[in-house]
Structure formats: C-alpha cells, structure tokens
C-alpha cells in the first residue's frame, strides 16, 4: 500500500483501515520514522525514501550531517493504528525513543537505522541488543505497550 498520509498516524490508519475493510476483522497498521534534530526532524516520514538501500540511506544522512557537530540527536517515532469494522474513529498509540546517531554502524542485529542509532544511557545501538531486549526499549515496543495498557484490546472479540 502506498503511504500517502502527511503524518505517521495517517499512514498507519490507511494500512489498518484497508486491512480491516478487506477482512472484516480488527487490524493494526503502523508507521514509523527517524527524526534527526539537526535536520529539523527529517527524514521523518520519508526515512525509507532517502535511498534505494540502507547503506545509501545511511550515507545520505551522514552527508547531510557532515558539517553538524556531534552529538547528532535523533529519535525514532512509531504510531500504531487500530481499526475495527464497526468502530470509528481509529485508535492511535505512539512510542518514541530518544538517542543519537553514530558516524559508523555498530552491531549485527536489527534492521534499518538500528546499527547507527545509539541509546546513550545504555551505551549500545539497537543493533547490539538481543531482539527481546530491543523490543523493550524500541519505539514500536513502546507503542505496543501503550496499546496494551489502554485496555482497548479487551473489548475486541
């Protein structure tokens, strides 16, 4: 599905509503991005569109940050949208995690920007966490925690 929304929430809702409409069942959609403080929040919604490969996306980020002194503060943002066939409006759950970008990758796990996204308090990139621990700290994990804490799932049969 093409992501035509102007926000993470709009893109997540497009996915959730399409899946719920197609199946007649509740559905979750998500959207996420990397927001770099020195770049005014970019790439944000367009995080995946910076280049054809992750190596190219990283290179483009580093090119844009070349003249900016470190630390390169950044955040990951994720929004989950829950759509139900008979329910309006869609419910939204957001997760954020603050960190810094590194000038070179570290770690072998994760995907996307994980190897260059450092959590300074923990001294590790997302690519250096085992999957279960990463989910505890990640923006998607935090959005999922917000969904679970909301109690909305208990009303879904």
The per-residue pLDDT for range 87-137, each reduced to its tens digit, is 678 999 999 999 999 999 999 888 899 999 999 999 999 999 998 889 889
β-pairing, 27-36 with 117-119? unpaired
Q: Which CATH number fits domain 30-76+94-155: 3.90.950.10, 3.30.460.10, 3.90.550.10, 3.40.309.10?
A: 3.90.950.10
Say what the pLDDT of residue 157 is: 64
Instruction: Decide: 68 and 56 in contact? Cβ < 8 Å.
Output: no
Say what the pLDDT of residue 32 is: 96
Q: How confident is the model at residue 16 (pLDDT cuts 50, 70, 90)?
A: very high
Average pLDDT, the chain: 93
Instruction: Decide: 94 and 79 in contact? Cβ < 8 Å.
Output: yes
Q: How confident is the model at residue 85 (pLDDT cuts 50, 70, 90)?
A: confident
Distance CA 6, CA 32 (A): 12
Both tokens of 131, joined, read: 């999957």
Which range, of 1-5, 60-64, 105-109, 144-148, averages the lowest pLDDT?
A: 1-5
Q: Is 133 left (phi over 0), alpha (psi -120 to 50) or beta?
A: alpha
Cβ-Cβ contacts under 8 Å for 32 (sequence gap 6 or more): 8, 47, 76, 77, 78, 79, 139, 140
C-alpha separations of 132 from 23, 126, 129 in Å: 30, 11, 8
Closest CA to 43 of 3, 76, 12: 76
| Catalytic pick among 30, 31, 91, 114 | 31
Is 91 assigned a catalytic role? no
Residue 144, Cβ neighbours under 10 Å: how many? 18
């Amino acid at each position: 599905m093409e992501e035509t929304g102007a926000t993470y929430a709009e893109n997540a809702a497009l996915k959730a509503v399409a899946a719920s409409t197609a199946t007649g069942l509740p559905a979750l959609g998500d959207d996420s991005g990397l927001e770099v403080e020195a770049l005014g929040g970019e790439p944000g919604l367009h995080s995946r569109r910076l280049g054809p490969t992750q190596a190219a996306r990283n290179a483009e980020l580093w090119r844009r940050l070349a003249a900016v002194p470190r630390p390169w503060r950044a955040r990951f943002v994720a929004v989950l949208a829950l759509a139900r066939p008979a329910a309006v409006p869609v419910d939204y759950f957001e997760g954020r995690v603050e960190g810094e970008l590194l000038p070179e990758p570290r770690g072998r796990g994760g995907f996307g920007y994980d190897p260059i996204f450092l959590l300074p308090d923990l001294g590790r990139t997302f690519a250096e966490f085992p999957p279960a621990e990463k989910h505890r700290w990640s923006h998607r994990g935090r959005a999922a925690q917000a969904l679970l804490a909301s109690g909305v799932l208990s009303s879904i049969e």
